[in-house]
Each structure stands twice: as C-alpha cells, then as structure tokens.
Amino acid sequence: MRSRNSQKPGGRNGDPRKSAAFVRLADNLADTARGFYSRGWIFGTSGNFSSVVSRDPLRLAITASGLDKGRLTRDGIVIVDENGTALNSMPRASAEAALHVAIVRNRNASAVLHTHSVWSTLLSERHGDAGGFAIEGYEMLKGLNGISTHDHAEWVPIIENSQDCDALAKSIDAVLTELPNTHAFLLRRHGLYTWGKDLEEARRHIEILEFLMEVTGRTAAAAASAVAHSNVAFGD
C-alpha cells in the first residue's frame, strides 16, 4: 500500500509542481507576468495568467491570488482543477480561475492571459453601453491568429464585470459561443482577456491587442481634443 509521503507521478512526494515540465511552464508564466508589468499592462496584484497542464482531467497552471506580478516567481503558480479550485495543499488560486477554465473549454485554448492596462480599461467604459467596438484597418491586426490582412474589422466585445465569477464565467461562455471568431474581450472597467493555442501565441495576442487598444484610445482622445479646441476657437 502506498504511504502518504511516497513518491507519485508528476513530482517529488506527489506534488505536480515539482515536475520538470511544470517548473518550465511556471517559469514561463512568471516571466510573462513580469514582462507585462514592466510594460505597464498590469499593476500591483492585478492580472492573471494560465496555461493548460492536462486536458483529461483538465488542469491549469495559474497565478495564485494576491501576488505582486512584478515580482512573480514560479512559486506563485498553482494548479487548479476543472472547477477552478486549487489542488490540495496549494495556495489559493486567482479568484478568476473559473473564467480561465470557461475560456479554455470554449476556445480549446492552451493559454489564457488577462491584463489591466489603462487604455483597455478606459475603452471598456467608453464603449461599454454599445457592448463592444471594432478595430479595423491596422497592419498590426495581422498579428492575430488567422488574420492575413489589415483589411479586417476585429470586434472586441465588452462584458459587464461581476464579483460572482461563476455567473461571469457563464456570461463569457455565452459571448464566446455567439462570437466564435473573436480573439479577445474586455471586462467593463476591468481589463483585457485573450488566449492562444500555446503561451507564445497568447503573449503575441496581448502585445498586438494592447498596441491596438492604445492606438484606438489615443486616436479618440486626439479627436476629442481637436473638437474642443475648435469649439474654443469659434467661441462655442
């Protein structure tokens, strides 16, 4: 009979986080978080990042709750099950783990990344009542999976935020089912979610989308400023 402390598959003393494969994955997630922090796309403990460990049973490596992403290490990565619950004896996972699980299932994604940049947050409020907005005509759109021309309109849906993550996961699943070709969505007054067939693709999507969010936001701000100056000039 196997003892409680005997070695099990996946790592020393049965801890899957001790396996070489998980260590590599955790290091990549932590490096991704620190990189995004340095670029101003996440701040403090905001944001969360995950990658699929196994499909059957479904297991995700994901950032633990409440950690400064600018200092994140592999020790801040935990494993959650198909319900978004951290495995026994591991630190508490991000409260949004259920959202990652919903995206992985709906999109068959292998990685999900969530940032909190200023521009994505501002745009989520500016276009929140419309339920989303289109980004079109930019060469950088070709960095999104399956897009081969700048002549493309990428619809970015905006979903109302909620502290009830189970209900929010259902809302996300419904939107992604309705919009099978979208590459990302925004949570209103919250931030950006995107995904990929692997962590590399998901990182690329973040880079492309954060660029497009900033361009869109700055363009709108410049247009509003021009109108304001014009009104002043004409005495309106």
Per-residue model confidence (pLDDT) at position 208: 98
53 three-state secondary structure: strand
Position 212 in a domain: yes
Do 196 and 204 contact (CB within 8 A), yes or no? yes
- Can you tell me the distance from the alpha carbon of 169 to that of 112, in angstroms, rounded to the nearest whole number? 14
131 three-state secondary structure: coil
What is the CATH classification number for the domain harbouring 60?
Answer: 3.40.225.10
- Can you tell me the distance from the alpha carbon of 156 to that of 132, in angstroms, rounded to the nearest whole number? 5
Question: What is the count of structural domains for the chain?
Answer: 1
Note the pLDDT tens digit of each residue in 105-160.
999 999 999 999 999 999 999 999 999 999 999 999 999 999 999 999 999 999 99
Instruction: Give pTM, 2 decimals.
Output: 0.89
**Which domain range does residue 17 map to?**
12-226
Residue in the structure block whose two tokens are 């490096």:
31
Position 5 in a domain: no
Position 42 in a domain: yes
Per-residue pLDDT in tens (0 to 9) along the chain, 236 residues: 232 222 343 444 567 788 899 999 999 999 999 999 999 999 999 999 999 999 999 999 999 999 999 999 999 999 999 999 999 778 889 889 999 999 999 999 999 999 999 999 999 999 999 999 999 999 999 999 999 999 999 999 999 999 999 999 999 999 999 999 999 999 999 999 999 999 999 999 999 999 999 999 999 988 776 655 566 555 55
Position 214 in a domain: yes
Between the CA of residue 87 and those of 12, 81, 126, 215, what are the distances in Å? 16, 7, 39, 41
Per-residue model confidence (pLDDT) at position 172: 98
Position 37 in a domain: yes
Position 166 in a domain: yes
**Which residues are CB-neighbours of 52 under 8 A, at least 6 positions away?**
58, 59, 60, 61, 104, 109, 110, 111
Position 1 in a domain: no
Closest CA to 70 of 94, 97, 38: 38
Structure tokens belonging to residue 32: 């991704």
Position 232 in a domain: no
Per-residue model confidence (pLDDT) at position 89: 74
